[in-house]
Chains A and B, each alone.
Chain A
Amino acid sequence: MDTALPSRLPTCPLSLTINGTPYTLDVHPWTTLLDLLRSDLELTGTKKGCDHGQCGACTVLIDGQRMNACLKLAVTLEGAEITTVEGLGTPDRMHPVQKAFVEHDAFQCGYCTPGQICSAVGLLQEGHARTRDEIRELMSGNLCRCGAYTNIADAIEEVLESQASWREAAE
Chain B
Amino acid sequence: MKPFTYTRAETVADAVAALAASPQAQFLAGGTNLVDLMKYEVARPDAIIDINPLPLGAIEDLPDGGLRIGALASNSAVAYDERVQLRFPLLSSAILAGASPQLRNAATTGGNLLQRTRCAYFYDPSTPCNKREPGSGCAAIGGLTRMHAILGASDKCIAVHPSDMCVALAALDATVEVVGPDSARDIAFGDFHRLPGDMPHRDNTLEPGELVTGIRLEANHFAGHYTYLKLRDRLSYAFALVSVAAAMEIADGQILDLRVALGGVAHKPWRDPLAEAEFAGAPVEDETFQKVAERLLLEARGHGGNDFKIPLARKAIVRALRQAASGTPQSQTIKAIQ
A12 in the interface (beta carbon within 8 A)? yes
A29 to chain B, nearest CB (A): 4
Alpha-carbon separation in the docked complex, A133 to B99 (Å): 17
A9 touches B3 (CB 8 A): yes
The segment from A18-26, A37-45, A88-96, A135-143 found at the interface with B is A135-143
Q: Which residues of A contact B100 (CB under 8 A)?
A: 56, 140-142
B333 touches A133 (CB 8 A): yes
B333 touches A137 (CB 8 A): yes
B38 in the interface (beta carbon within 8 A)? yes
B272 in the interface (beta carbon within 8 A)? no
Task: Contacts A28-B3, A137-B333, A141-B237 given; indicate if A66 touches B31 (C-beta within 8 A).
Answer: no
B28 in the interface (beta carbon within 8 A)? yes
Chain A residues 115 to 154 lying within 8 A of chain B, measured CB to CB, are: 119, 122-123, 126, 128, 131, 133-134, 137-142
A122 touches B101 (CB 8 A): yes
Q: Which residues of B contact A62 (CB under 8 A)?
A: 106
Alpha-carbon separation in the docked complex, A9 to B2 (Å): 11
Q: Which residues of B contact A141 (CB under 8 A)?
A: 99-103, 237
Among A52, A65, A126, A140, the residue within 8 A (CB) of B237 is A140
B125 to chain A, nearest CB (A): 15
Q: Which residues of B contact A134 (CB under 8 A)?
A: 333
A97 in the interface (beta carbon within 8 A)? no
A95 to chain B, nearest CB (A): 18
Most A CB contacts (10 A, CB to CB) among B1, B28, B102, B333 go to B102
Alpha-carbon separation in the docked complex, A141 to B332 (Å): 14
Most B CB contacts (10 A, CB to CB) among A52, A71, A131, A141 go to A71
Alpha-carbon separation in the docked complex, A100 to B34 (Å): 36
A72 in the interface (beta carbon within 8 A)? yes
Mask of A51-63 contacts with B, CB within 8 angstroms, 1/0? 1110010010010
A73 touches B106 (CB 8 A): no
Alpha-carbon separation in the docked complex, A148 to B5 (Å): 42
Q: Which residues of B contact A56 (CB under 8 A)?
A: 100, 102
B334 in the interface (beta carbon within 8 A)? yes
A119 touches B102 (CB 8 A): yes
Q: Which residues of B contact A36 (CB under 8 A)?
A: none
B80 in the interface (beta carbon within 8 A)? yes
B5 touches A59 (CB 8 A): no
B328 in the interface (beta carbon within 8 A)? no
B39 touches A52 (CB 8 A): yes
A119 touches B101 (CB 8 A): yes
Alpha-carbon separation in the docked complex, A123 to B235 (Å): 19
Task: Contacts A10-B5, A133-B333 given; indicate if A128 touches B80 (C-beta within 8 A).
Answer: yes
Task: Contacts A29-B4, A76-B52, A140-B237 given; indicate if A71 touches B35 (C-beta within 8 A).
Answer: yes
Q: A30-B4, A72-B35 are in contact. List 17 more A-B contacts (CB 8 A).
A: A12-B6, A53-B102, A59-B102, A65-B105, A66-B101, A67-B103, A68-B32, A72-B106, A73-B6, A75-B50, A76-B28, A119-B102, A126-B101, A137-B236, A137-B332, A140-B235, A140-B237
Please list the residues of chain A having a beta carbon within 8 angstroms of any beta carbon in chain B. 1, 5, 9-10, 12, 28-30, 32, 51-53, 56, 59, 62, 65-68, 71-73, 75-76, 78, 119, 122-123, 126, 128, 131, 133-134, 137-142
Closest 3 pairs between A and B when the two form their complex, measured CB to CB: A141-B100, A140-B236, A29-B6
- 8 A-B pairs in the complex with CB atoms less than 8 angstroms apart: A52-B36, A56-B102, A65-B76, A65-B106, A66-B105, A76-B50, A78-B8, A137-B332
